[in-house]
Amino acid sequence: MVRFEIIVLILYLAQKTSMRTSHLCFLLVIFCSCAVMLGQTSDMYIKAGQFYDSEKNVLLKEKAIRVVGSEIASIGAYNTIPENAEIIDLSDCTVLPGLIDAHTHVFFSQNAEADFAEHSIRTLVMESDALRTLRGAKRAKSYLDVGITSIKDLGNSGRFLDVALRDAITEGTTSGPRIFASGPILAAEGGQIYGVLHIHQHLIDGEYRIVKGMEDGATAVREHVNQGVDLIKICADNLPNRTHLSVNEMKSIVQTAHAYGITVTAHCVTDQSAWNAITAGVDGIEHGFNIADSTLALMAKKKVFLVPTENSRTYMETYARLVGNEGEDLDWIEFYMDEMTNRLKRAIAMDVSIVAGSDNYTDIGVSPGESSIDMLRAYSDAGMKPLDVLQSATYFPAQSLKMEKRIGQLSPGAFADIIAVKGDITADFLNTMDQLVFVMKNGEVHFREKD
Ligand SMILES: [Zn+2]
């Protein structure tokens, strides 16, 4: 706008002073050249000793990533770097796309021993939106600190506080990962907050969008679209609340969301609710703790992704200690690990796309970001190979958002969300992932370890 006004001013002065046409042209050319130079963002090159191609799921050697502004402009060999170019030398590192956590709740945090429903009510009644958002912003930033440059925040975020925080981060008001926001979870009567008396049910509306029938499901999606959500999250079941959405309600939700070009992912604990949600046409299943082989086969056939939100043995031992388990009380961890490993292996064997998600909302004494990165350890514990774990935290979650050209991979046209770790990622995956030395988001360096 300013440049346009200056051009108008030059033309005005030329007219007033009867400036010769050749002089006028000269002035305009000089001005336009300066404007172009000032507006140009400078190129930067990142030397990647090892380079992870998340689409092909392979490691390549010695690549130069050219970053212009907020995007990756090109990928080439080292010898494509011009002389005197600005270089970030990560030639002794493995360079990866920024990681994606496909299941977070940055607006909700409880202690290990706290009851989910009681804490939800406490949050709704005693935590203002302002305080909740500021706390959410701090939690969100901790994701960026560990190299998670995008998150799918799936509800328990009041009334669209996630959309507000997303916008504040996008405009640079506060620092954090890219947020893909679902807004309030669409659920049947009572949502997931069990034990609330009938006279207090209105409180639930502060956290969930209660769906009452097929037409209301479509209306709920339109309300969410109108508020600018990136995707829709539903609760196919509300356990331990007994209520659940019907297949027809879910169909109505899915059809409306798809008409607006956004995806629907479904929280499912029981196998029946997962089957119902898949039948209704959802794009993804969250948790799926009790999922049967027949349901996994249907998911593979319909290309529905699974977000297994398990934790590692290390995490579980910490959690158990915090809730006061001792001796034989700890036996459940073995059972849990067996179940988790078994289910993940069955899903992989059935060719279901695994999308990494932490579902982290419990304070175990570290930052939410540090706690969420545990998802990599969990999948590794369950036997997934290092590059497969990485693909589940980069390319597949990007694909689940239909954003694979923009996030989750290092390719021309993608956002420059780039991280680097030191060490041999295929031989010593977990320790290497702990050696984070570089985080860039949107072309800006967020963290770089000093040599
Ligand atoms: Zn969750």
Residue 235 CA to ligand 1 centre (angstroms):
10
Buried b (16+ CB within 10 A) or exposed e, 133-172: beebbebbbbbbbbbbbbbbbbbbbbebbbbbbbebbeee
Residues bordering ligand 1, an ion, CB closer than 5 Å: 359
User: For the chain, how many helices (H) and strands (E)?
Assistant: 16, 18
Instruction: Pinpoint the alpha helices (H) of 260-330.
Output: 271-280, 293-302, 313-322
Residue 297's nearest CA partner among 272, 270, 277, 278 is: 278
State the pLDDT at residue 38. Answer: 46
What gap in Å lies between CA 231 and CA 373, rounded to an integer? Answer: 23
Question: Please, are residues 98 and 434 in contact by the beta-carbon 8 Å criterion?
Answer: no
State the pLDDT at residue 39. Answer: 44
Residue 411 CA to ligand 1 centre (angstroms):
31
Residue 182 CA to ligand 1 centre (angstroms):
12
Residue 410 CA to ligand 1 centre (angstroms):
28
Using CB atoms within 10 Å of the CB of residue 17, give its burial: 0 to 12 exposed, 13 to 18 middle, 19+ buried. exposed
State the pLDDT at residue 381. Answer: 86
**Which residues on neighbouring strands pair with residue 43, listed in sequence order?**
68
Residue 105 CA to ligand 1 centre (angstroms):
7
Residue 340 CA to ligand 1 centre (angstroms):
17
What gap in Å lies between CA 102 and CA 231, rounded to an integer? Answer: 12
Residue 361 CA to ligand 1 centre (angstroms):
8
10 Å Cβ neighbour count for 336? 15
State the pLDDT at residue 36. Answer: 44
Element (H, E) at 150: strand 148-153
Residue 333 CA to ligand 1 centre (angstroms):
20
pLDDT tens digits along 120-156: 999 999 999 999 999 999 999 999 999 999 999 999 9
Residue 381 CA to ligand 1 centre (angstroms):
21
List the structure tokens of 353.
């796309």
Residue 433 CA to ligand 1 centre (angstroms):
24
Q: Please list the ranges in the chain whose pLDDT falls under 50.
A: 1-4, 32-40
State the pLDDT at residue 328. Answer: 82
SS3 317: helix
Residue 233 CA to ligand 1 centre (angstroms):
10
State the pLDDT at residue 7. Answer: 52
Residue 279 CA to ligand 1 centre (angstroms):
22
Residue 70 CA to ligand 1 centre (angstroms):
31
DSSP 60: E
Residue 109 CA to ligand 1 centre (angstroms):
11
Residue 108 CA to ligand 1 centre (angstroms):
10
213: left (phi over 0), alpha (psi -120 to 50) or beta: left
- The pTM (predicted TM-score) of the whole model is 0.90
Residue 44 CA to ligand 1 centre (angstroms):
38
State the pLDDT at residue 34. Answer: 46
Residue 398's nearest CA partner among 423, 417, 376, 378 is: 417
Residue 104 CA to ligand 1 centre (angstroms):
6
Residue 156 CA to ligand 1 centre (angstroms):
8
